[in-house]
Structure 1
Amino acid sequence: MSPKSPSETAGDSESQPERRTSLLVDPTLASEEDAAVLAKMGYKQELRRNFSMIEVFGIAFAIMGLLPSIASTLSYSIPAGPVGLVWGWFLASACIFVVGLAMADLGSSMPTSGGLYYWTHYYASPKWRNPLSFLVGYSNTLGLVGGLCSIDYGFSLMFLSIIVISRDGNWSPSNGVIYATFLATVACHGLIASTMARIMGKMQTVFVAMNFILIFATIIALPIGANHRNSASYIFTHVENLTTWPTGWGFMLAWLSPIWTIGGFDSAVHISEEAANATRAVPFGILFSIGSCWLFGWICCIVIAACMSQDLDHLLSSPFGQPMAQIYYDALGKNGAMGFMALLMIVQFLMGISILVAASRQSWAFSRDGALPFSKFFRPISKRFGYIPLRTTIGCAVLAAVLGLLCLIAPAAASALFSLAVAGNNLAWGTPIFCRLVWGQKKFSPGPIYTGKRASTPIAWAAIVFLIFGILLSMFPVGGPNPDAESMNYTCVINSAVWGGALLYYFIDARKWFRGPQITLDLNQLTEEQAAALRAEGLKEEGANGTAVLGSGVDGRDSVEQKS
């Protein structure tokens, strides 16, 4: 029997009911406008849209956790001296903002939880869309889980550093103690993200407030408490090189701090199916979170450079295990350091909740399209816990606990968790932007937030160049060439395993069944106009079980096809 399009089957009164005049949507989940935007991409509304525009910004900004992230990554920037700390932050943040502009164009156009791999599949050529989409989905999923690992590992070090400070540096935690603290942290995050979904949007506002309280408290207290403040010449022009790399490359490695810190802006994309007015909220969340971190992070770096000891080796080899703890201790004394490290620790803990939410939504979207192992198990939405993907939330926490076993190997292996988030997400961000430029420029339909026809393309190419540079940068040993086992950067090993494993899985098995994004809508609920929009988006339904894919019709043009 020949395939019929939705418009054809709509007229067949015996085989299908009459097409409805409007898209059916539960008003407690979303407005009809938001549901219609999602329907255009083939998905029905299943999550509750309880995130406002400010709260979408909040989850992205909360994941970045500005000052705790700077504190966790000072070991990357301090070796280059104040110039690496201050100007490295400013220049890298500017480049990241360019990436945000390119992603905002895509996010405003097609806001969906699985945005990165969905966009890749939509814009790529028919030959490459499936493997590239599969690779991006896994890279993004594991990159986000890697981000959870690195955040919770950083929290564990901060928590234990308070104990070290209280004992005046006369105690040092073992790798086993660090992992046990990490494991307890991941378990707490899994519990909170699973049971507090109904107020998760409101919680992001609290998280943002906590971040700004910590930022302003630090930039006020450090200059007041410091016995000696460095000159402007030292802050803005003094160069150091505590690595064995050339000085210029040592400066570039300082960029790893802002690259890792300002790495949660794609969470605005993953939360898009829970955001009201998503076509505006998503780009707003991306750009304002990056811009806020760019400005306030630069101010924090200037204050730190002004108040820190000029003996940089003293900071890097601090018995407290964290350069920031030593900076607080030198300026504010024991009690002041413990107080600020406790506040840092709390904000770092809140970061973990937010990134677990984002990781679970990406994982759920990927399982919705059948790409994850045990997708049918992870696919259901829990109405009891507030219309959230409960199983992927718990699954991401369990995976983070397993990846965190690297803590038991060595600090160098644990630090690879930081770079896993950088390299994995950079690949996931850059691929859809590249696909849009090379294959899908004619298919691109701007949303209400758009950088403009003339600026959009050069911005996108600039973003790709920087993302490739970021991947390469994250794989260099930060101490210098010829590393030993302890100073080796294992990112190349871990990411090669992630990317190589994903492609191997695809070509051995997944190519037989993975067809990209699947329609979850009941086509009988669409109007003729909505069905035409689906055809224009390149979606087609295959089989009687309701599965569907993004692909090309017989004549090479994308279409929606229903097969009897």
Structure 2
Amino acid sequence: MESPQHSIAKADEALLAELGYKQEFKRAFTPLEVFGIAFSIIGLLPSIASVLFYAVPNGGPASMVWGWAVASLFILCIGMSMAELGSAAPTSGGYPRMTWMNYSYTSGHHSLSSLRCRNLLSWIVGCKSFTSIVTSRTSIDWGCAVQIMAAASIGSGQTFTATSAQTFGVYVAIVLSHAVICCLGTAVLARLQTVYVVLNVGLCLAVMIGLPAATPKENMNSASYALANFTNLNGWPDGYAFILSFLAPSWTIGAFDSSVHISEESSNAATAVPWAIVSAIGIAGILGWAINVSLAFCMGTDVDSLLNSPIGQPLAQIFFDRFGQNATLALWSIVVLAQYMMGSSMVLASSRQTFAFARDGALPFSSWLYRMNGFTKTPVNTVWFVAAISIIFGLLSFAGPQAINAIFSLSVTALYIAYIIPIAARFAFKNDFKPGPFNLGIFSFPVAVIAVSYMFIMDIVFFFPTTPQTDVANMNYTVVVLGGILMLSIMWYYCPVYGGVHWFTGPVSNIEMLGEEGASSIRVSVEKNVREDIVEPSVGT
């Protein structure tokens, strides 16, 4: 009699085959570990530490508490829409693959996008998705490097202030160490996710309980201050400043699609992946709100001193004021460890997505990147490729704080573009989309409208500078970098002779390796696809 685990494994492999790919990874991630990678990349407390400087000057306590609550609800709508797509097509290629088509080699063709524009849309989503994973990697590890420098400042009695070169050196060391870890076997990486979850939840609970306990009653902020005080230091109108504070939860509760990128290593992926996305967002939203409430009551009223602290991290300064030097160093070391683990999980997810892009021939050096290491059975080449690109992006730190801060904004804005297109394509084009086990039913469309509207507005908001009075040095260069990447990607697509329009045909099946029966089924499907393309040609054909 066949065991349930074996039946699930066969069903996973069959679903992947229907989507056009053979099983190359070992499916070692349990549903809990799939949740673990999404939750560990969110890395709640260390992420809040990295982006608290966005919320504090744009509303202070009120934005920290209520801005988080409002943004979390919108992010949950995004997550539910993306979870539906991830359930229907659980592949490492993620949303560029879904944008192009949801293609079944046994039951026919199910396209999300119009045949006339699916190649171009998939190309754009792929470029933006790749931009997002690289900038997310950069921002996470840069945040870790800054936190290590903050620890050095705390240990020196706040006499040490790190230079850009020193912080960059630590950043490079972090990136390289993550690359080494992510070259390990799938089973080892899967088991680590449980450790990450326990550490993150324990750290959150320690701060939620320990910080109020360590704050003297006379230093506790009143409820009216913690929940209603609006401190606007950057000069934008209050309503707009409140919206700007959404970048903190948007960056923190981001990259939850990482579970999609390990779906080919997950057991029962069509169910485990969407529930990992939704549960990670929901738990992070609730715990994050509780942490921000705790901070709002215990942070004091001198907001300027938090932002201009020689430690360089508002959260570290709050800890220092309440716990003292030694206890802060002990707690902060755990924050740094959680942030480090967060970066490790992000390398894992981004290397899998890069591997999937290379499998479809959509990246330079695809033939080299699309290789599985014979010993670890993991894509070692893509791990080091992602690490190298991250180090290059880290060089922006030498252009000033605004340049490296743009990486944080860019990781969100690029990701939202990559999310908007497949969500909108599902409803904008005539198609016969077949939902997976996770399905919102009649709520799919209204939730998608809310998600797309929020992301569209936020992308515009995050293009604006920190203050209305700005100069060249303090300009927000997110729109320049994002627009430049979009322009270059389209120019590359339409480039004469060498452009993607001449060779990019969307996801490339490798299922012919499964044998004659599978190859025969593919030939029938491909012939059908070719006939449809002749009737309604793709862009550039």
TM-score if structure 2 supplies the norm length? 0.92
CA separation of 1:144/1:308 partners in 2, compared to 1, >3 Å: closer, same or farther? same
1:81 paired to 2:60 = yes
Asked whether the equivalents of residues 116 and 536 of structure 2 are also in contact (C-alpha less than 8 Å), the reply is: no
Whichever residue aligns with residue 333 of structure 2, its letter is A
Whichever residue aligns with residue 310 of structure 1, its letter is T
1:275 paired to 2:266 = yes
Q: Deviations over 1:346-391 (max 9, x none)?
A: 0000000000111111111011000000101101111311x21111
TM superposition shift of 1:465? 0.7
CA separation of 1:155/1:197 partners in 2, compared to 1, >3 Å: closer, same or farther? same
List alignment gaps of at least 5 residues for structure 2: 102-111
Secondary structure in 1 matching 2:526:
strand
Q: Deviations over 1:472-524 (max 9, x none)?
A: 1221212x113123322111111112211111111111111000011111287
Q: Which residue of 2 aligns with 1:246?
A: 237
- Once the two structures are aligned, what percentage of the paired residues are identical? 37
Q: Which residue of 2 aligns with 1:21?
A: none
Q: Deviations over 1:428-484 (max 9, x none)?
A: 1111011111114x32111111001x1111111111111112211221212x11312
Q: Which residue of 2 aligns with 1:161?
A: 150
Q: Which residue of 2 aligns with 1:56?
A: 34
Which structure 2 residues correspond to residues 318-333 of structure 1 after superposition, within 5 A? 318-333=309-324
Whichever residue aligns with residue 407 of structure 1, its letter is S
Q: Equivalents in 1 of 2:344, 2:520: separation in Å?
A: 37
1:461 paired to 2:449 = yes
Whichever residue aligns with residue 120 of structure 1, its letter is T
Out of 87, 95, 110, the residue aligned to residue 108 of structure 1 is 87
Q: Which residue of 1 aligns with 2:461?
A: 473
CA RMSD of aligned residues (A): 2.2
Whichever residue aligns with residue 477 of structure 1, its letter is P
Out of 501, 504, 510, the residue aligned to residue 488 of structure 2 is 501
Asked whether the equivalents of residues 517 and 550 of structure 1 are also in contact (C-alpha less than 8 Å), the reply is: no
CA separation of 1:28/1:488 partners in 2, compared to 1, >3 Å: closer, same or farther? farther
**Segments ≥4 residues shifted beyond 4 Å:** 27-30, 526-530, 555-558
Q: Equivalents in 2 of 1:366, 1:340: separation in Å?
A: 39
Asked whether the equivalents of residues 256 and 473 of structure 1 are also in contact (C-alpha less than 8 Å), the reply is: no
Q: Deviations over 1:90-129 (max 9, x none)?
A: 1001000000111111111111111200111111112211
1:365 paired to 2:356 = yes
1:211 paired to 2:191 = no
Q: Equivalents in 1 of 2:393, 2:6: separation in Å?
A: 38
Q: Which residue of 2 aligns with 1:554?
A: 534
Whichever residue aligns with residue 454 of structure 2, its letter is F
Q: Deviations over 1:130-163 (max 9, x none)?
A: 1111111111112111101001100011001111
Whichever residue aligns with residue 163 of structure 2, its letter is S
Secondary structure in 2 matching 1:248:
helix
Whichever residue aligns with residue 379 of structure 2, its letter is P
Out of 363, 381, 394, the residue aligned to residue 391 of structure 1 is 381
Q: Which residue of 2 aligns with 1:312?
A: 303
Q: Equivalents in 2 of 1:399, 1:501: separation in Å?
A: 17
Out of 40, 55, 65, the residue aligned to residue 18 of structure 2 is 40
TM superposition shift of 1:540? 2.0
TM superposition shift of 1:58? 0.3
Q: Equivalents in 2 of 1:528, 1:269: separation in Å?
A: 25
1:408 paired to 2:423 = no
Out of 36, 39, 44, the residue aligned to residue 66 of structure 1 is 44
TM superposition shift of 1:196? 4.7
TM superposition shift of 1:84? 0.3
Q: Equivalents in 1 of 2:203, 2:97: separation in Å?
A: 37
Secondary structure in 2 matching 1:357:
helix
Q: Which residue of 1 aligns with 2:106?
A: none
List alignment gaps of at least 5 residues for structure 1: 1-26, 543-548, 559-564
Which structure 2 residues correspond to residues 148-227 of structure 1 after superposition, within 5 A? 148-227=137-216
Asked whether the equivalents of residues 208 and 291 of structure 2 are also in contact (C-alpha less than 8 Å), the reply is: yes
Asked whether the equivalents of residues 253 and 281 of structure 2 are also in contact (C-alpha less than 8 Å), the reply is: yes
Asked whether the equivalents of residues 422 and 470 of structure 1 are also in contact (C-alpha less than 8 Å), the reply is: no
Whichever residue aligns with residue 215 of structure 2, its letter is A
Asked whether the equivalents of residues 29 and 48 of structure 1 are also in contact (C-alpha less than 8 Å), the reply is: no
Which structure 2 residues correspond to residues 418-497 of structure 1 after superposition, within 5 A? 418-440=408-430, 442-452=431-441, 454-478=442-466, 480-497=467-484
Q: Which residue of 2 aligns with 1:121?
A: 100
Q: Equivalents in 1 of 2:119, 2:148: separation in Å?
A: 43
Whichever residue aligns with residue 54 of structure 1, its letter is L
Q: Equivalents in 2 of 1:222, 1:550: separation in Å?
A: 63
Q: Deviations over 1:145-185 (max 9, x none)?
A: 11010011000110011111111221211111111110111
Whichever residue aligns with residue 56 of structure 2, its letter is I
Q: Equivalents in 2 of 1:160, 1:383: separation in Å?
A: 38
Asked whether the equivalents of residues 30 and 45 of structure 1 are also in contact (C-alpha less than 8 Å), the reply is: no
Asked whether the equivalents of residues 120 and 129 of structure 1 are also in contact (C-alpha less than 8 Å), the reply is: yes
Whichever residue aligns with residue 341 of structure 2, its letter is L
Q: Which residue of 2 aligns with 1:15?
A: none
Q: Which residue of 1 aligns with 2:109?
A: none
Out of 327, 341, 350, the residue aligned to residue 350 of structure 1 is 341
TM superposition shift of 1:541? 6.6
Q: Which residue of 2 aligns with 1:95?
A: 74
Whichever residue aligns with residue 438 of structure 2, its letter is I
Q: Which residue of 1 aligns with 2:327?
A: 336
Q: Equivalents in 1 of 2:513, 2:264: separation in Å?
A: 20
Q: Which residue of 2 aligns with 1:17?
A: none
Whichever residue aligns with residue 395 of structure 2, its letter is L
Q: Equivalents in 1 of 2:167, 2:500: separation in Å?
A: 37
